[in-house]
Amino acid sequence: MKIIAIANQKGGVGKTTTAVNLSACLAELGKRVLVIDLDPQANATTALGLTPDADVNLYHPLVEDTPVEEQIRETHLENLFLLPAALQLAGVEVVLAQQGNHHSRLKEVLAPLTELDQLDYVIMDSPPSLGILMTSALATADDLLVPVQCEFFGIQALAGIYQEVLASMQEAGLAHARLEGIILTMYDGRTRLARSVIEEVRSHFPKETYKTIIPRTVRLGEAPSHCKTIIEYDPAGVGAFAYRALADEFIQRRREYRVT
Ligand SMILES: Nc1ncnc2c1ncn2[C@@H]1O[C@H](COP(=O)(O)OP(=O)(O)OP(=O)(O)O)[C@@H](O)[C@H]1O
Ligand SMILES: [Mg+2]
C-alpha cells in the first residue's frame, strides 16, 4: 500500500478534481483505492456522492482514537473507498496543535491500514493551506503529487510547496515523501501563457512532470455538482480520456521506478 498526498497550498488548482478522478480511474483499472478527504470543505466527499457527516471523518481517529477502519465508506464505484470529511475536521487544526506529536499522528492513525494490506493506494486530498492537515499529509505520504494550474501563479505555488514546505519538513526529518509528480491542470490550449507555463515547469522538473496534461473542460467542472466522477458523468469525453491517461501514466511511472 502506497500513500500519496495530493497537495498544493494554492486554492482551486485541481487538487480535489485530480484526487477524485485519478482514484476513480485507478479503481477502474482494478486497483483498490482509498480516498482520504483531509479538507474540511469536504469537496472530494461530495464529489464521490457522500454527504458530509459530523460523525464520519478523520477527526474521530485523529482526536478520539476511533479505529480508522470504522470511518471508511464504500462509494458507488467498485474498488473505490472513501474516508470522508466534514466541517468538523477543521477542529483538528486546533486540537492537534496543542500536542507535540501532531505531524506523526496521521501516520499512526493510518498504520492499521498498512497492516491490513487490502489497499493498493491511499490518495489524500489536502486543503489549500499550510495548516496541520496539509503538513500531516506531507508527513504521512510516501509520494507527493502536485497539481499545477497552467497559469502564471501556478509556478510560484509549485516553488512554494517544493522548496519551502517539503524541503524544510524533510530537513527537519518530519517528511520522507518524494516529489513523485507534477500534474499540469486546467490547460487551455488557446493561451500562449498556458503553453509557456508548461515549458517552464517541464524545464525545471523534466522527470517529475507528467506527460499527461489535464485540459480545462466544462464537464470536469460540472461532474461534482452531479456527485459523479468524470468517468461516470462523461465517460467518452476529453476529461475522462485525460484522467484515464493520467492513471495509466501513474502506474507506468511506478513500474519504471520499480515501486508499486
Ligand atoms: N480541468 C478542469 N476543467 C474545468 N474545471 C475544472 C478543472 N479542474 C477543476 N475544475 C473546477 O475548478 C474548481 C477548482 O477545482 P478543485 O476543487 O479540483 O481545486 P482544489 O485545488 O481542490 O481547490 P481547493 O484549494 O479549494 O481545495 C472546481 O470548481 C472544479 O470543478
Ligand atoms: Mg479541493
Closest residue to atom 18 of ligand 1, CA basis? 14
Sites in the chain below the pLDDT cut of 50: none
Closest residue to atom 15 of ligand 1, CA basis? 14
> What pLDDT, in 10s, does the model give residues 59-74?
999 999 999 999 999 9
> What pLDDT, in 10s, does the model give residues 112-171?
999 888 999 999 999 998 899 999 999 999 999 999 999 989 988 998 888 889 999 999
Whether ligand 1 lies within 6 angstroms of the CB of 46 is answered as no
pTM of model > 0.85 = yes
In this structure, what C-alpha cell is assigned to residue 93? 487544526
Which atom in ligand 1 lies closest to the alpha carbon of residue 222? 31
Whether ligand 1 lies within 6 angstroms of the CB of 17 is answered as yes
Q: How far is CA 226 from CA 62, 200, 234, in A?
A: 30, 35, 11
Q: What pLDDT, on a 0 to 100 scale, did the predictor assign at position 260?
A: 64
Closest residue to atom 29 of ligand 1, CA basis? 221
Single out the residue of 215, 197, 207 nearest to residue 155, CA to CA: 197
How remote is the CA of residue 258 from the centroid of ligand 2, in Å? 30
Instruction: Answer yes or no: CATH 3.40.50.300 is held by domain 2-256.
Output: yes
In this structure, what C-alpha cell is assigned to residue 16? 480535489
Q: So where are the chain's domains? A: 2-256
Type of residue found at 121: Y
